[in-house]
């Protein structure tokens, strides 16, 4: 398996937190005080202070760290909306998403500052990740290769991660806007992502950076699948080498660097694996792609049976796949259909230690592919996009707590955007 961290190789898991801390310390280094009234707020930093070539690696690492925190928040929130998880705590900032209420627009999300944080929502974290990656790339573009070693690699990396921010926002939001701009559709957001992945591929080729090449191919194929550009999706997906995995990595350096899924499902019993993901089998054997555990107790709310996911065990050690050969093969299968789809599914099954298709799955290729995606990509932030792309019905009536489901499927723009964006006020 070609296993790549967000820095392209397995690096010290503390490196991202150290880089972020280094940025804060370096910006505060010039602050001095001779008395209690002479203190200057070190958080107030001039934009020009960031435009130093020596800070390029720190800008790159900090942008990736911001994305990884946002990605975990997206996986958790999308998991609740799509039924991968049930809310097993009593706090409104999580249960609002559990009943899919219209008031989800009051929760734009944040990268948590506490392990006990229950709030869901992904808009602000992903917009922050997008902006930070784009801003860092703009600054690094102004430097020369002599000023910044590995400059081309940084630019490829930042552009690809900006593309993934757009891609996830496109899949999860009902509408989008960028930098206080006008409303744009989900399809327009996917096209923006395609453009960034295309740019990242060119940069990665120049820098001889295969990890970002493959990551961008998977991302572009995913965006093309959302746009219905099936031949293009097939071509990109088939170019991804077997065994490739690009992960978001986490550590115990700060809460924002911890694996949010682990904290919510294991450490705090705040989310429980949904009923449709419990005790799944293939041919009478437990499906290893959806490892869950019935703890035999109730969650934090004393109502919800607590089923733990066992895919991500350990807040620091557990990585979440962002792009993989397995996903690429399933994109190829959906786009190709027929026997090609079955062959691709069986390749992925074999790599996961699962028996091949045997005919008991039925003859509807689309349904077979979607079920394979549901299992193979469990808790990777994929199911919500599948449900929206294929118009898979969301539950209606009341949930497991007797709460009436609202109309939310894709996430509405939050109040913080509609009330502050001059193009959207009053809309």
Which pLDDT score, from 0 to 100, does residue 50 have? 73
Q: Does some domain include residue 163?
A: yes
Q: Which domain holds residue 312?
A: 51-418
- Of the candidates 298, 427, 384, 382, the one whose C-alpha atom is nearest the C-alpha of residue 100 is 384
Residue 33 located in a structural domain: no
pLDDT at 408: 97
Higher pLDDT, 62 or 34: 62
Instruction: Tell me the average pLDDT across 113-138.
Output: 96
pTM: 0.91
Burial 311-343 (b: 16+ CB within 10 A, else e): bbeebbebbbbbbbbbbbbbbbbbbbeeeebbe
Residue 314 binned pLDDT confidence (cut-offs 50, 70, 90):
confident
Query: For 1-15, 65-79, 383-397, which range has the lowest pLDDT when averaged over its residues?
Result: 1-15
Query: So what's the pLDDT on residue 46?
Result: 63
* Rounded to 5°, angle at Cα 218 from 149 and 10: 45
Confidence of residue 426 (pLDDT cuts 50, 70, 90): low
Residue 6 lies in a domain: no
Give the model's pLDDT for residue 13.
31
- Could you tell me whether strands 244-248 and 320-324 are parallel, antiparallel, or unpaired per DSSP bridges? antiparallel
- Could you report the per-residue pLDDT of 292-310, keeping only the tens digit for each? 999 999 999 999 999 999 9
Could you give the 3-state DSSP secondary structure of residue 106?
helix
- Per-residue pLDDT, 16: 46
CATH number at residue 322: 1.25.40.390
The predicted model gives 113-123 an average pLDDT of: 94
Please tell me the distance from the alpha carbon of residue 37 to that of residue 50, in angstroms, as a whole number: 27
- Mean pLDDT, range 18-30, rounded to an integer: 38
CA 91 from centre of chain: 23
- Both tokens of residue 345? 């599914």
Residue 357 has pLDDT above 80, yes or no: yes
Binned at pLDDT 50, 70 and 90, residue 51 comes out as confident
Predicted local confidence at residue 31, as pLDDT: 32
Let me know if residue 46 belongs to a domain. Answer: no
For 116, other C-beta atoms within 10 Å of its C-beta total 14
Contact 344, 332 (CB under 8 A): yes
> Strands 285-286, 271-273: parallel, antiparallel or unpaired by DSSP?
unpaired
> For residue 4, what pLDDT is reported?
65
Checking DSSP bridges between strand 281-282 and strand 244-248, what pairing results, if any? unpaired
Say whether pLDDT at 9 is over 70. no
Q: What angle do CA 218, 220, 223 make, to 5 degrees?
A: 110
C-alpha to C-alpha distance for 427 and 413, rounded to whole angstroms: 11
In this predicted structure, the answer to whether residue 41 has a pLDDT above a threshold of 70 is no
Residue 16 included in any domain: no
Q: What is the pLDDT of residue 287?
A: 98
- Which tens digits make up the pLDDT trace of 162-193? 999 999 999 999 999 999 999 999 999 999 99
Quick one: average pLDDT of 327-342? 98
* Confidence (pLDDT) at 5: 64
pLDDT recorded at residue 89: 98
With respect to residue 325, please indicate whether it lies within any of the assigned structural domains. Answer: yes
Q: How many domains in the chain?
A: 1
Specify if 190 maps to a domain.
yes
Task: Give domain status of residue 24, yes or no.
Answer: no
pLDDT reading at 25 higher than 90: no
């Amino acid at each position: 398996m070609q296993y790549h961290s967000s820095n392209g190789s397995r690096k010290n898991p503390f490196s991202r937190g150290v880089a972020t801390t280094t940025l804060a310390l370096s910006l505060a280094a010039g602050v001095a005080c001779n008395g209690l009234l002479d203190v200057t707020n070190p958080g107030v930093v001039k934009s020009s202070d960031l435009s130093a070539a020596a800070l390029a690696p720190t800008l790159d690492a900090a942008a990736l760290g911001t994305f990884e925190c946002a990605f975990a928040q997206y996986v958790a929130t999308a998991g609740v909306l799509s039924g991968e998880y049930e809310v097993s705590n009593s706090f409104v900032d999580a249960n609002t998403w559990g009943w899919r209420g219209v008031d989800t627009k009051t929760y734009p999300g944040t990268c948590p500052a506490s392990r006990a944080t229950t709030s869901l929502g992904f808009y602000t974290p992903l917009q922050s990740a997008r902006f930070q990656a784009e801003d860092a790339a703009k600054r690094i573009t102004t430097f020369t290769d002599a000023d910044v070693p590995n400059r081309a690699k940084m630019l490829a990396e930042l552009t690809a991660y900006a593309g993934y921010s757009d891609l996830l926002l496109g899949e999860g939001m009902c509408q989008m806007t960028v930098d206080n701009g006008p409303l744009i559709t989900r399809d327009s957001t996917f096209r923006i992502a395609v453009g960034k992945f295309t740019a990242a591929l060119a940069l990665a080729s120049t820098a001889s950076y295969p990890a970002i090449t493959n990551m961008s191919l998977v991302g572009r194929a995913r965006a093309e699948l959302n746009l219905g550009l099936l031949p293009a999706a097939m071509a990109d997906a088939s170019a991804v080498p077997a065994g490739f995995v690009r992960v978001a990595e986490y550590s115990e350096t700060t809460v924002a660097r911890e694996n949010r899924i682990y904290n919510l499902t294991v450490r705090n019993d705040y989310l429980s694996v949904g009923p449709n993901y419990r005790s799944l089998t293939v041919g009478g054997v437990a499906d290893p792609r959806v490892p869950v555990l019935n703890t035999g107790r109730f969650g934090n709310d004393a109502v919800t049976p607590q089923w733990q996911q066992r895919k991500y065990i350990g807040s620091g050690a557990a990585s979440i796949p962002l792009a993989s050969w397995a996903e690429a093969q399933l994109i190829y299968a959906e786009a190709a259909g027929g026997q090609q789809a079955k062959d691709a599914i069986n390749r992925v099954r074999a790599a996961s230690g699962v028996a091949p298709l045997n005919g008991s799955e039925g003859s509807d290729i689309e349904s077979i592919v979607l079920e394979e995606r549901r299992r193979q990509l469990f808790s990777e932030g994929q199911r919500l996009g599948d449900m929206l792309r294929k118009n898979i019905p969301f539950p209606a009536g009341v949930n497991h707590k007797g709460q009436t489901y609202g109309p939310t499927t894709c996430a509405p723009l939050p109040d913080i955007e509609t009330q502050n964006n001059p193009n959207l006020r009053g809309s």
